[in-house]
């Protein structure tokens, strides 16, 4: 992402239509207990996770009930909440045991479930009244009358369809007193969200029951009359969408009335979660502190770029995406950095950090350390040792603890990344 190094003054498009001044919630994905802890540590007000049943990310490292309890306890230390996705469209056999499962979520301290199927919505309201029920984006809610319907059904929050425009959001908020949650960052569906059946057709994995194989990201040939019509050597094509990124448009989102900024990515890495949450946290806080003098800082955009997996756009917020907003050629890795290590502890007197290796690194390599609130610095690694003091020529063993001298102080859960 090319940008100026100068902060940019942003005039919100909806400044005259402001419906709220409360700080919006920053809602982050957590595909595992470790990712939950990083998301909360880096500034998320709430996280959404998947249990081992009834969710749409069956391939994620989904949470057991005991892991949920631990995650809830950790989040509570930061004043954060934990939501659980129970957002499948259920066949009859899927509903066996759902009431008991919802009671377990309530007992574990989960703040809310995210549901699409009316059977799950109604069951939760009946058997687990302390659980809030948030309507999933799978319901494709795109008009204020539908929002009003779900409010009247007792739901305090609606997660809007990714296809909703900024004008529609502002109208919904003006006409219905209900919380609106909106995806602001992450992967987009090349179909109307949740309505694709390619996965079912090609692999017998049901997208709406947690089995999406992301067939839009596959490579395809084009045939007519059983013959390829592509030129020799021509690249096979994909049908995937570019990713969503609204870091440049925080004022519009807040002033249109969005109550929860949702980041997609329960399958993404710790580095992605920490980087993206960190950037949005700073931008939201800066705008809420002084809306009239808010400036877009280039380092926030840079942080997003360091974790981006695909080209970025603004989705449906301002216009309907056209052909240029999809990815047809083989994708190149956009992010110029990779997760190298996480800080476990820091000896201030010696200036030595103990880091846990996540990807190989070696002496002489340029790395960047960063932490919550925008703390970051770049340095070149000197010689380093293992935990017993033995010098190493490369840190190649996953989860190995390494002693590294740092140019500046660092803190536990700070991340060290390397330039690719």
Give the alpha-carbon dihedral of 161, 178, 110, 274, to 10 degrees: 60
Instruction: Give residue 3's pLDDT.
Output: 45
- For residue 395, the 8-state DSSP code is B
CA distance 4 to 389: 44
Could you tell me which residues are beta bridge partners of residue 260? 25, 181
Task: Please list, in sequence order, all residues whose beta carbon lies within 8 angstroms of the beta carbon of residue 387, skipping any fewer than 6 positions away.
Answer: 354, 400, 401, 402, 403
* pLDDT at residue 317 in the model: 95
Residue 59 has a pLDDT of 52
Distance CA 132, CA 155 (A): 7
Contact of 1 with 312, CB cutoff 8 Å: yes
DSSP assignment letter at 286: H
Tokens standing for residue 153? 């059904």
Which residues of the chain carry a pLDDT beneath 50? 1-4, 15-19
Domains of the chain, start order: 8-193+240-327 (3.20.20.70), 337-419 (2.40.30.10)
CA angle 193, 196, 199 (to 5 degrees): 130
Q: Which of 171, 113, 176 is nearest to 149 (CA)?
A: 176
Radius of gyration of the chain (CA): 22
Structure tokens at 67: 């892991």
> What count of other Cβ atoms lies within 10 Å of the Cβ of residue 113?
27
Could you give the C-alpha distances from 191 to 154, 261, 317, 321, 323, in angstroms and in order?
29, 22, 16, 12, 13
Cβ pair 27, 45 in contact under 8 A? yes
Separation of alpha carbons 163 and 341, rounded Å: 37
H helices of 87-227, where? 98-107, 118-127, 144-152, 166-175, 198-203
Note the pLDDT of residue 371: 98
Contact 132, 111 (CB under 8 A): yes
């Amino acid at each position: 992402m090319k940008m100026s190094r100068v902060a940019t003054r942003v005039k919100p498009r909806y400044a005259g239509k402001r419906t709220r001044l409360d700080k919006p919630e920053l809602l982050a994905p957590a595909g595992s207990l470790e990712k939950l802890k990083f998301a909360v540590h880096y500034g998320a007000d709430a996280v959404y996770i998947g249990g081992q049943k009834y969710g749409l990310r069956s391939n994620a490292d989904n949470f057991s009930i005991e892991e949920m309890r631990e995650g809830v306890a950790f989040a509570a230390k930061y004043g954060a909440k934990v939501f659980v996705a129970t957002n499948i469209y259920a066949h009859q056999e899927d509903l066996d045991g759902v009431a008991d499962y919802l009671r377990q979520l309530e007992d574990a301290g989960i703040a809310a479930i995210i549901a699409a199927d009316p059977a799950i919505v109604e069951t939760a309201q009946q058997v687990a009244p302390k659980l809030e029920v948030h309507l999933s984006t799978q319901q494709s809610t795109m008009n204020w009358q539908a929002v009003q319907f779900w409010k009247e059904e007792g739901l305090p929050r609606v997660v809007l369809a990714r296809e909703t425009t900024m004008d529609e959001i502002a109208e919904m908020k003006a006409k219905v007193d209900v919380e609106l949650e909106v995806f602001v960052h992450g992967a987009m569906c090349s179909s109307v969200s949740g309505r694709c059946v390619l996965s079912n057709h090609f692999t017998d994995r049901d997208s709406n029951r947690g089995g999406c194989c992301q067939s839009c990201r596959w490579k395809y040939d084009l045939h007519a009359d059983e013959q390829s019509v592509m030129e020799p050597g021509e690249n096979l094509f994909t049908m995937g969408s570019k990713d969503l990124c609204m870091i440049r448009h925080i004022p519009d989102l807040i002033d249109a009335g969005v109550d929860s900024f949702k980041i997609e990515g329960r399958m993404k890495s710790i580095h992605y979660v920490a980087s993206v949450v960190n950037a949005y946290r700073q931008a939201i806080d800066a705008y809420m502190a002084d809306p009239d003098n808010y400036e877009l800082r280039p380092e926030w955009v840079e942080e997003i770029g360091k974790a981006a997996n695909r080209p970025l756009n603004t989705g449906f917020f301002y216009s309907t995406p056209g052909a240029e907003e999809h990815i047809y050629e083989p994708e190149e890795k956009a992010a110029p950095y990779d997760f190298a290590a996480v800080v476990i502890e820091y000896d201030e007197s010696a200036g030595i950090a103990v880091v846990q290796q996540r990807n190989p690194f070696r002496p002489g390599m340029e790395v960047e350390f960063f932490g919550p609130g925008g703390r970051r610095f770049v340095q070149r690694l000197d010689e380093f040792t293992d935990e017993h003091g033995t010098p190493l020529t490369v840190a190649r063993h996953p989860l190995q603890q390494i002693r590294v001298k740092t140019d500046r102080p660092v803190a536990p859960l700070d991340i060290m990344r390397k330039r690719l």
